[in-house]
Structure 1
Amino acid sequence: MRELDETDMEILSMLAADSRRPFSEIGEEIGLSGPAVSDRVTRLQEAGIINTFTIDVNRGALRAGVPVLIDLDLPAESLTPARDQLQDADAVEHIFVTAEGDIRCYARVEAQNVREWVAGLFEEIAVNDYTVTLVDDVEWTPTIDGVEFALTCAECGNTVDSEGETTRIGGEVYHFCCSSCLSRFEDRYQQFESDA
């Protein structure tokens, strides 16, 4: 398994800032050809480091509603259905789940209908309480700079280094710190498949 090098990190940083940036332009900046950048991006995708390329729509410029933070206090059994409901809601841009099992989301909704929208969204889901906070200004700048990147073993959670292994099981890519973790994972996966 190849470790992430400085060039991979530079490519990730540039794509995080603008995922539509041409590979030839990235290559000029870091001293590689466009096809070489494309090969590296493909390897990062195959390794599961890059999942998707997305766009960040400025809904404010589209006059798509008032920005609000919604804090939900939920019983434990409502966490998954509430999260699923929020993921399907067009107005919701970001969802955060706290260590206590509460949900906070950032959304843009019509000003006069915020509470009505929230109530309608969760009419079939138990919610202990919720608060809605009007947001005055938003800055969302996801970055990978200053973050230590390391792949983690799918079996034991340890860091995967250059001696680790990567394999595709059931259509998904998994990383392992050693061959014994890979074997244990494959055994459990096969057992799960035969039981299903």
Structure 2
Amino acid sequence: MPDLDDIDRTILRLLVEDGRRPYSDIAAAVDLSPPAVSDRVSRLQEWGVVRRFTADVDRSRLRDGVSVLVTLDLAPNTVETTRAALVGDEAVEHVFTTAEGSLVASLRIPDGDVRGYLEETIDYDAVRDLAVSLLTATSWSPGLGAAEFAPECAECGNTVTAEGETLTLGGESYHFCCSSCAGRFEERYEELESGV
């Protein structure tokens, strides 16, 4: 299985800076042709490294509520449902789950009533402790560092290394840590396709 190289990382950094950057500009920066850059971006999308291109709206320039950082200490069995409720809400900008099981979210509350908002959005009875901080400024700058391509095996969930395999089935790419996992997955896929 191929791995990310320095050119892939540079392309990713340039796209993080500006997702609308023309491939000709990227090509000049990495010493490739624009079609070669397009091929690499398509490959990164197939691998799931690039999920989408989106607008980065600076909400501080818009008058639409109070920006706060909320930390929720929750009952352990409610973390995922609470996270899902927050992720699906328009007032939420980012949601993080900590190793301790807390949720940290940046929100823009239209009327400034954080408690009221949370009571309407999540199961407030699951909240054991709550901390709210008023945000005066935010910035978001995801970095790549020396990131390596490390997808999860579609069969067993292990991390796929350079020795792994990729199969394309039904127009979708799947990554596997070994040929055994790839074989088992493909066999089950074909059985389901044939209706067995």
TM-score category by the smaller chain? 0.7 to 0.9
- CA distance, structure 1, for counterparts of residue 103 and residue 189 of structure 2: 32
> Is 1:69 the counterpart of 2:69 in the alignment?
yes
1:119/1:193 CA distance change after superposition, 3 Å: farther
Please tell me the root mean square deviation across aligned C-alpha atoms, in Å. 2.6
Which residue is equivalent to 2:166? 166
1:82/1:38 CA distance change after superposition, 3 Å: same
- CA distance, structure 2, for counterparts of residue 36 and residue 124 of structure 1: 51
Q: For residues 95-174 of structure 1, what are the structure 2 equivalents within 5 Å?
A: 95-110=95-110, 112-123=112-123, 126-144=126-144, 146-154=145-153, 155=156, 157-161=158-162, 163-169=163-169, 172-174=172-174
Q: Which runs of 5+ in 1 are unaligned?
A: none
Contact kept in structure 2, 1:17 and 1:143, CA below 8 Å: no
Secondary structure of 1:149's partner? coil
| Percentage of pairs with the same residue | 44
Post-superposition shift, 1:84?
1.5
Contact kept in structure 2, 1:153 and 1:160, CA below 8 Å: no
- CA distance, structure 2, for counterparts of residue 149 and residue 175 of structure 1: 15
Deviations 1:11-35 (A, max 9, x none): 1111111111111111122222222
1:156/1:58 CA distance change after superposition, 3 Å: closer
TM-score normalised by the chain length of structure 1:
0.84
- CA distance, structure 1, for counterparts of residue 192 and residue 80 of structure 2: 23
Deviations 1:116-165 (A, max 9, x none): 22222225763223221112222211121x2331324503624421x421
1:51/1:9 CA distance change after superposition, 3 Å: same
> Is 1:47 the counterpart of 2:47 in the alignment?
yes
> Is 1:29 the counterpart of 2:54 in the alignment?
no
The amino acid of 1:79's aligned partner reads V
Q: Which runs of 5+ in 2 are unaligned?
A: none
